[in-house]
Amino acid sequence: MKAMILAAGRGERMRPLTDHTPKPLLPVAGRPLIVHQLTALRAAGIAELVINTGHLGAQLTSVLGDGGTWGLRIVYSPEPPDALETGGGIFQALPLLGSEPFLVVNGDVWTDYPFVHLPAAPVGLAHLVLVDNPSHHPVGDFALCDDGQVGETGAARLTFSGISVLRPELFADCVPGRFPLGPLLRRAMTDGQVTGEHYRGGWRDIGTPQRLAELDDELRRRPKAQSSPSSSPAIGD
Protein backbone atom coordinates (compact mmCIF):
# COMPACT_ATOMS: atom_id res chain seq x y z
CA MET A 1 0.00 0.00 0.00
CA LYS A 2 1.14 3.52 -0.81
CA ALA A 3 0.60 6.43 1.56
CA MET A 4 0.17 10.17 1.22
CA ILE A 5 0.96 12.87 3.76
CA LEU A 6 -0.97 16.11 3.31
CA ALA A 7 1.65 18.81 3.88
CA ALA A 8 0.73 21.72 1.60
CA GLY A 9 -1.20 23.91 4.04
CA ARG A 10 -0.15 27.41 5.01
CA GLY A 11 -0.55 26.89 8.75
CA GLU A 12 -2.12 30.27 9.43
CA ARG A 13 -2.99 29.46 13.05
CA MET A 14 0.64 28.51 13.69
CA ARG A 15 2.05 31.90 12.74
CA PRO A 16 4.62 33.28 13.36
CA LEU A 17 6.23 29.81 13.58
CA THR A 18 5.14 28.98 10.02
CA ASP A 19 6.27 32.26 8.49
CA HIS A 20 9.65 30.68 7.78
CA THR A 21 9.09 26.95 8.40
CA PRO A 22 6.36 24.71 6.95
CA LYS A 23 4.22 23.22 9.72
CA PRO A 24 5.30 19.58 9.11
CA LEU A 25 8.92 20.59 9.78
CA LEU A 26 8.25 22.22 13.14
CA PRO A 27 10.24 20.33 15.80
CA VAL A 28 8.53 17.99 18.25
CA ALA A 29 10.69 16.21 20.83
CA GLY A 30 13.85 16.93 18.88
CA ARG A 31 12.78 16.07 15.35
CA PRO A 32 10.36 17.44 12.74
CA LEU A 33 6.71 16.49 13.19
CA ILE A 34 6.62 14.80 9.79
CA VAL A 35 9.58 12.58 10.70
CA HIS A 36 7.49 11.04 13.48
CA GLN A 37 5.01 10.10 10.75
CA LEU A 38 7.68 8.76 8.40
CA THR A 39 9.10 6.41 11.00
CA ALA A 40 5.64 5.17 12.01
CA LEU A 41 4.63 4.53 8.41
CA ARG A 42 7.84 2.65 7.68
CA ALA A 43 7.37 0.55 10.83
CA ALA A 44 4.00 -0.52 9.39
CA GLY A 45 5.60 -1.69 6.16
CA ILE A 46 4.85 1.37 4.02
CA ALA A 47 7.65 1.91 1.52
CA GLU A 48 6.20 4.30 -1.08
CA LEU A 49 5.02 7.74 -0.05
CA VAL A 50 3.58 10.81 -1.77
CA ILE A 51 3.83 14.21 -0.08
CA ASN A 52 2.02 17.24 -1.46
CA THR A 53 3.85 20.52 -1.00
CA GLY A 54 2.81 24.15 -1.07
CA HIS A 55 3.89 26.79 1.44
CA LEU A 56 7.71 26.71 1.71
CA GLY A 57 7.62 23.34 -0.02
CA ALA A 58 11.25 23.53 -1.08
CA GLN A 59 12.23 23.11 2.57
CA LEU A 60 10.35 19.81 2.75
CA THR A 61 12.03 18.40 -0.34
CA SER A 62 15.42 19.60 0.90
CA VAL A 63 15.07 18.02 4.35
CA LEU A 64 13.33 14.79 3.35
CA GLY A 65 14.88 14.18 -0.06
CA ASP A 66 13.94 10.89 -1.65
CA GLY A 67 13.13 9.32 1.71
CA GLY A 68 16.07 6.94 1.71
CA THR A 69 17.11 7.98 5.23
CA TRP A 70 13.93 6.31 6.52
CA GLY A 71 13.84 3.42 4.08
CA LEU A 72 11.13 5.11 2.03
CA ARG A 73 10.68 6.19 -1.57
CA ILE A 74 9.18 9.69 -1.50
CA VAL A 75 7.74 11.52 -4.50
CA TYR A 76 6.29 15.02 -4.30
CA SER A 77 3.12 16.60 -5.65
CA PRO A 78 3.74 20.37 -5.80
CA GLU A 79 0.70 22.63 -5.53
CA PRO A 80 0.09 26.29 -6.41
CA PRO A 81 0.68 28.97 -3.75
CA ASP A 82 -2.93 28.92 -2.49
CA ALA A 83 -2.88 25.08 -2.27
CA LEU A 84 -5.66 22.76 -3.39
CA GLU A 85 -7.19 21.82 -0.02
CA THR A 86 -7.43 18.19 1.05
CA GLY A 87 -9.63 16.83 -1.72
CA GLY A 88 -7.99 18.75 -4.55
CA GLY A 89 -4.53 17.81 -3.31
CA ILE A 90 -5.32 14.11 -3.18
CA PHE A 91 -7.03 14.23 -6.57
CA GLN A 92 -3.97 15.85 -8.18
CA ALA A 93 -1.75 13.14 -6.67
CA LEU A 94 -3.84 10.17 -7.86
CA PRO A 95 -1.51 9.41 -10.81
CA LEU A 96 1.31 9.02 -8.28
CA LEU A 97 -0.79 6.92 -5.91
CA GLY A 98 -1.99 4.41 -8.49
CA SER A 99 -5.20 2.43 -8.86
CA GLU A 100 -5.20 0.63 -5.49
CA PRO A 101 -6.45 1.89 -2.11
CA PHE A 102 -4.00 4.19 -0.32
CA LEU A 103 -3.44 5.56 3.17
CA VAL A 104 -3.75 9.29 3.85
CA VAL A 105 -2.41 11.13 6.90
CA ASN A 106 -2.75 14.83 7.67
CA GLY A 107 0.68 16.38 8.00
CA ASP A 108 -0.26 18.36 11.11
CA VAL A 109 -1.16 15.53 13.47
CA TRP A 110 0.88 13.40 15.85
CA THR A 111 -0.33 9.96 16.84
CA ASP A 112 0.86 6.64 18.17
CA TYR A 113 -1.82 4.87 16.14
CA PRO A 114 -0.36 1.61 14.77
CA PHE A 115 -0.88 2.02 11.03
CA VAL A 116 -0.50 -1.72 10.57
CA HIS A 117 -4.02 -2.10 11.99
CA LEU A 118 -5.57 -0.32 9.01
CA PRO A 119 -7.33 -2.48 6.41
CA ALA A 120 -5.38 -2.94 3.21
CA ALA A 121 -8.59 -2.08 1.38
CA PRO A 122 -11.78 -0.51 2.75
CA VAL A 123 -15.05 -2.42 2.42
CA GLY A 124 -16.53 0.61 0.67
CA LEU A 125 -14.86 3.75 -0.64
CA ALA A 126 -13.23 4.90 2.60
CA HIS A 127 -12.21 3.78 6.07
CA LEU A 128 -11.69 6.48 8.70
CA VAL A 129 -9.90 6.51 12.03
CA LEU A 130 -11.96 8.49 14.54
CA VAL A 131 -10.79 9.71 17.95
CA ASP A 132 -12.31 11.19 21.10
CA ASN A 133 -13.28 14.83 20.67
CA PRO A 134 -10.51 17.18 21.85
CA SER A 135 -11.43 20.21 23.95
CA HIS A 136 -10.98 22.53 20.98
CA HIS A 137 -13.44 20.49 18.87
CA PRO A 138 -16.11 19.21 21.27
CA VAL A 139 -18.87 18.62 18.69
CA GLY A 140 -16.90 16.07 16.67
CA ASP A 141 -17.24 15.32 12.96
CA PHE A 142 -18.91 11.97 12.30
CA ALA A 143 -20.87 9.24 14.07
CA LEU A 144 -19.57 5.66 14.29
CA CYS A 145 -22.38 3.11 14.36
CA ASP A 146 -22.24 -0.32 16.00
CA ASP A 147 -21.91 -2.02 12.60
CA GLY A 148 -18.79 0.00 11.77
CA GLN A 149 -20.54 2.34 9.36
CA VAL A 150 -19.72 6.05 9.60
CA GLY A 151 -22.36 8.72 9.11
CA GLU A 152 -23.37 12.15 10.30
CA THR A 153 -26.12 10.96 12.65
CA GLY A 154 -27.14 7.89 14.61
CA ALA A 155 -24.50 7.74 17.34
CA ALA A 156 -22.27 9.95 19.44
CA ARG A 157 -20.06 12.02 17.19
CA LEU A 158 -16.30 11.56 17.19
CA THR A 159 -13.49 13.56 15.59
CA PHE A 160 -11.91 12.55 12.29
CA SER A 161 -8.23 11.98 13.05
CA GLY A 162 -6.98 12.82 9.56
CA ILE A 163 -6.03 9.15 9.06
CA SER A 164 -7.88 7.18 6.41
CA VAL A 165 -7.67 4.52 3.73
CA LEU A 166 -9.30 5.67 0.50
CA ARG A 167 -10.13 4.13 -2.84
CA PRO A 168 -9.36 6.22 -5.93
CA GLU A 169 -12.99 5.70 -6.97
CA LEU A 170 -14.01 8.14 -4.21
CA PHE A 171 -12.81 10.88 -6.59
CA ALA A 172 -14.50 9.48 -9.72
CA ASP A 173 -16.60 12.59 -10.46
CA CYS A 174 -14.01 15.18 -9.49
CA VAL A 175 -12.27 17.70 -11.71
CA PRO A 176 -8.93 19.41 -11.07
CA GLY A 177 -9.06 22.35 -8.72
CA ARG A 178 -9.35 23.40 -5.11
CA PHE A 179 -11.86 21.45 -3.00
CA PRO A 180 -12.11 19.80 0.44
CA LEU A 181 -12.34 16.08 1.17
CA GLY A 182 -15.28 16.35 3.57
CA PRO A 183 -18.12 16.64 1.02
CA LEU A 184 -16.85 13.57 -0.85
CA LEU A 185 -16.85 11.56 2.37
CA ARG A 186 -20.34 12.76 3.32
CA ARG A 187 -21.72 11.81 -0.08
CA ALA A 188 -20.16 8.35 0.23
CA MET A 189 -21.65 8.03 3.74
CA THR A 190 -25.16 8.50 2.38
CA ASP A 191 -24.51 5.47 0.16
CA GLY A 192 -23.17 3.37 3.04
CA GLN A 193 -19.67 3.40 1.58
CA VAL A 194 -17.67 4.64 4.61
CA THR A 195 -16.54 2.51 7.54
CA GLY A 196 -14.49 3.50 10.55
CA GLU A 197 -12.92 2.65 13.87
CA HIS A 198 -12.55 4.43 17.20
CA TYR A 199 -8.94 4.85 18.32
CA ARG A 200 -8.55 5.71 21.99
CA GLY A 201 -4.77 6.07 22.09
CA GLY A 202 -2.49 9.05 21.61
CA TRP A 203 -3.49 11.65 19.03
CA ARG A 204 -2.87 15.39 18.79
CA ASP A 205 -3.93 17.98 16.24
CA ILE A 206 -1.04 20.46 16.09
CA GLY A 207 -3.15 23.47 15.19
CA THR A 208 -1.69 26.19 17.43
CA PRO A 209 1.71 27.03 18.92
CA GLN A 210 0.33 26.19 22.37
CA ARG A 211 -0.72 22.67 21.32
CA LEU A 212 2.67 22.16 19.68
CA ALA A 213 4.45 23.19 22.89
CA GLU A 214 2.22 20.92 24.98
CA LEU A 215 2.95 17.91 22.77
CA ASP A 216 6.67 18.66 22.77
CA ASP A 217 6.68 18.78 26.57
CA GLU A 218 4.63 15.59 26.85
CA LEU A 219 6.87 13.58 24.53
CA ARG A 220 10.08 14.82 26.15
CA ARG A 221 8.80 13.58 29.52
CA ARG A 222 8.07 10.09 28.18
CA PRO A 223 10.59 7.27 28.15
CA LYS A 224 12.16 7.26 24.69
CA ALA A 225 10.63 3.94 23.66
CA GLN A 226 7.14 5.35 24.23
CA SER A 227 7.53 8.47 22.08
CA SER A 228 6.87 6.68 18.79
CA PRO A 229 4.89 3.59 17.77
CA SER A 230 6.81 0.36 18.11
CA SER A 231 7.61 -1.79 15.14
CA SER A 232 4.81 -4.11 14.04
CA PRO A 233 4.26 -6.64 11.26
CA ALA A 234 3.83 -4.91 7.92
CA ILE A 235 0.42 -4.19 6.46
CA GLY A 236 -0.65 -7.25 4.56
CA ASP A 237 1.76 -9.60 6.39
174 or 224: which leads in pLDDT: 174
Q: Please tell me the least confidently modeled range out of 46-60, 91-105, 203-217.
A: 203-217
67 assigned to some structural domain:
yes
229 assigned to some structural domain:
no
Give 92-147 pLDDT, tens digit per residue: 999 999 999 999 999 999 999 999 999 999 999 999 999 999 988 999 999 999 89
235 assigned to some structural domain:
no
pLDDT at residue 236 above 50? no
User: Do 118 and 126 contact (CB within 8 A), yes or no?
Assistant: no
Mean pLDDT calculated for residue range 8-23: 78
232 assigned to some structural domain:
no
58 assigned to some structural domain:
yes
User: What's the pLDDT at 83?
Assistant: 84
142 assigned to some structural domain:
yes
* CATH number for 27: 3.90.550.10
227 assigned to some structural domain:
no
Domain count, the chain: 1
User: Do 123 and 195 contact (CB within 8 A), yes or no?
Assistant: yes
pLDDT at residue 228 above 70? no
15 assigned to some structural domain:
yes
Print the domain residue range for 14. Answer: 3-222
User: Do 157 and 140 contact (CB within 8 A), yes or no?
Assistant: yes
- Structure confidence at residue 224 as a pLDDT band (50, 70, 90): low
Q: How far is CA 106 from the centre of its chain?
A: 3
pLDDT at residue 233 above 50? no
Q: Give pTM, 2 decimals.
A: 0.90
Q: Which residues pair with 87 in a beta bridge?
A: none
User: What's the pLDDT at 223?
Assistant: 74
In angstroms, the Cα distances linking 222 to 7, 30, 110 are 27, 13, 15
